[in-house]
Amino acid sequence: MPPSLLELAQRATQATPNSSAAWRNLGLILQQDGVYLEAFDAFGRALALDPNDHQIALALSFCATRLGMKEEALSLASYYVQARPNERIGLVTLANALLGLDRITEAHDLAAGLLSDAPRDPSLWHLAGKTARASGALDKAAQALAQANSLEPNNPRILYDLVWTLADLGETEPALDLAEQAISLNPDPDVTAALTFLKSTLLLAKGDLTGGWQAYGVRHDLALASAAIYDVSLACWDGQASLEGKHVLLMAEQGLGDELAHLGLMADLLRRIGPSGRITLCADKRLKGLIERSWPSVRAVGHTTHQALGRRHRTPEEAVDADLWLPLGDLLPSLRPSLAHFGQPGGYLKPCLERLAHWRDWLQSLPGQVKIGMAWRSHKMDDERGRNFAPLSAWGPILSRPGASFVNLQYGETDAERAALLAQFGVVVHQPPGLDLFNDLEGLAALSAALDLGIGCSNASTNLLGAVGTQLHLIAPPAAWTALGQEAYPWYPGASIHTPIVYGDWATAVKAAAQAIGP
């Protein structure tokens, strides 16, 4: 069999290791194959040998973007633009790098100027759609991306951004059709993985758990920029083998909110491994006491998460000598194959009884008969994420509930926001004295369990409310996939979800939530 182009390129770098052209050719082949880390290394070697080859800098910027190396992507794009200030491709790359760093206004202004000069260029309409999307103008984004698609049909990257935008607008069926169309084009591995992940969320948003969980497995594909590497030297469960009698290392996935929701699987897993099996759960170390109190046979260890070469690594803080390991979310297809399998008893996390009594006493000191916890945003907020949260200015119908005291569950600095609520609505949102809402999850769990109900966006605090069994009302954007197509929120019995009828109509969602929590 004759050698492949990749093998020939590798031989060329071995034969002429000081040839910039040889390393550049290798980088181009690796980039085309979607092997971005190796491509980045090859291009880096080429640029070191020939710093004046600005095309290599541009290719390096592209790879850095794919690897999540945002600062490097911007530096390399700027290097190219300084050398060739009038070339459109360099300016587009620069705008994309600015977007990656949430410098949205700069990217938008650059895109607008370029588009006015070349209104028939699909790459500029694509860029305009991405900047509009990042700023929260999803309708404008969809229009710009549709225009890009009409000028360059069947470009998988354009289709990906259009699918993503339509999904956020709540247009699930058109988005799913476009995702299938784009995947059928057999695009680069990274685009295929990203489209497949989007497809999984769209299927789950429809309530198609069979197809959704199957596609959701792509979250482990390293072609997906957000996929994590688990630094575990054990055999990984294949999803089929029996777990009975095994010592299983579970690795919690993604963010704290996901970890808390997935902990609802623990009772079923304990039954599956049987009395002779063991579980070591590697989760956020702030949850250790809650986990071991709730499931005394389970050992909890913390994990560390760090970035290396644009990839997220998750590692147990302690050595674990288990039979095998698995990501916690891999249990979803077998333990939650249908909506009927979500009807588990609520309150699976057990707070410390002494701290629970403390917070019940404090809540009794507040006015009103009903004590309501509230959280309204994520820890990290930018324009792109911010559009998924109802603005505090829309919370009036909830805060006007008579006979209620509102308690802050929102981690982070909230003094200015609570002052604004007092000024606008005349409502005090009480700060739990002496409680670190971010780090002290034992205290937050106890306070959450002491409340009558909680309301807010989906974040760590509201997931903790659901996990301890407190009545929960979520306010979420249209077609939130975690609702699995239901009006109730399946992960926590008794929880409900309130969404806008159309994107951006937060008033409707807030009004529905206010009606649900009573007069």
The per-residue pLDDT of the chain, averaged, comes to 92
Cβ 218 vs Cβ 184: under 8 Å: no
- Provide the 10 A C-beta neighbour count for residue 453: 19
Separation between Cα atoms, residue 287 and residue 292, nearest integer Å: 9
Tell me what pLDDT residue 380 has: 57
- Provide the 10 A C-beta neighbour count for residue 501: 11
Tell me what pLDDT residue 55 has: 87
pLDDT tens sequence across 287-310: 999 999 999 999 999 999 988 766
- Provide the 10 A C-beta neighbour count for residue 42: 28
Separation between Cα atoms, residue 486 and residue 2, nearest integer Å: 55
Separation between Cα atoms, residue 45 and residue 61, nearest integer Å: 14
Separation between Cα atoms, residue 338 and residue 113, nearest integer Å: 50
Tell me what pLDDT residue 312 has: 85
**pLDDT > 70: what percent of the chain?**
98
pTM: 0.88
- Provide the 10 A C-beta neighbour count for residue 390: 22
Pick from 246, 199, 243: nearest CA to 331:
243
Three-state DSSP class for residue 312? strand
Tokens for 124, please give them.
């500029």
Report CA-CA distances (Å) from 394 to 94, 336, 391, 417, 504: 36, 35, 6, 13, 11
Go through the chain and tell me how many residues it has: 519
Pick from 237, 482, 465: nearest CA to 339:
482
pLDDT tens sequence across 24-67: 999 988 888 778 888 999 999 998 999 888 888 888 898 888 88
Q: Average of pLDDT values for 6-19?
A: 91
Pick from 61, 62, 375: nearest CA to 188:
62
Provide the greatest CA pair distance for the chain: 81
Cβ 104 vs Cβ 110: under 8 Å: no
**pLDDT > 90: what percent of the chain?**
76
Tell me what pLDDT residue 383 has: 47
Residues pairing with 381 in the sheet: none
Q: Class of the 228-337 domain?
A: alpha beta
Which stretch of DSSP H or E encloses residue 148? helix 138-151
Separation between Cα atoms, residue 363 and residue 371, nearest integer Å: 7
Tokens for 102, please give them.
């949430």
Tell me what pLDDT residue 1 has: 65
The domain 5-189 having CATH identifier 1.25.40.10: the answer here is: yes
Give the start-end residues of each E strand in 201-308.
228-230, 247-251, 278-283, 299-308
Cβ 491 vs Cβ 264: under 8 Å: yes
Pick from 367, 345, 357: nearest CA to 450:
357
Q: Which residues contact 55 (CB under 8 A, 6 or more apart)?
A: none
Give residue 23's pLDDT band: very low, low, confident or very high (50, 70, 90): very high
Report CA-CA distances (Å) from 254 to 207, 260, 295, 480: 22, 10, 22, 17
| Domain residue limits, the chain | 5-189, 228-337, 353-516
Separation between Cα atoms, residue 364 and residue 163, nearest integer Å: 49
Q: Average of pLDDT values for 264-275?
A: 95
**Type of residue found at 304:** T
Q: Which residues contact 323 (CB under 8 A, 6 or more apart)?
A: 234, 235, 246, 247, 248
Tokens for 319, please give them.
């050595």
Pick from 289, 299, 311: nearest CA to 64:
311
Cβ 142 vs Cβ 166: under 8 Å: yes
Q: Average of pLDDT values for 208-216?
A: 97
Report CA-CA distances (Å) from 357 to 295, 354, 360, 435: 21, 5, 5, 15
Per-residue DSSP letter, 362: H
Structurally, what CATH architecture does the domain formed by 353-516 represent? Answer: 3-Layer(aba) Sandwich (3.40)
Q: Where is average pLDDT lowest: 345-359, 384-398, 477-491?
A: 384-398
Q: Which residues contact 472 (CB under 8 A, 6 or more apart)?
A: 453, 454, 455, 462, 465, 466, 489, 492, 494, 495, 496
Q: Average of pLDDT values for 86-97?
A: 91
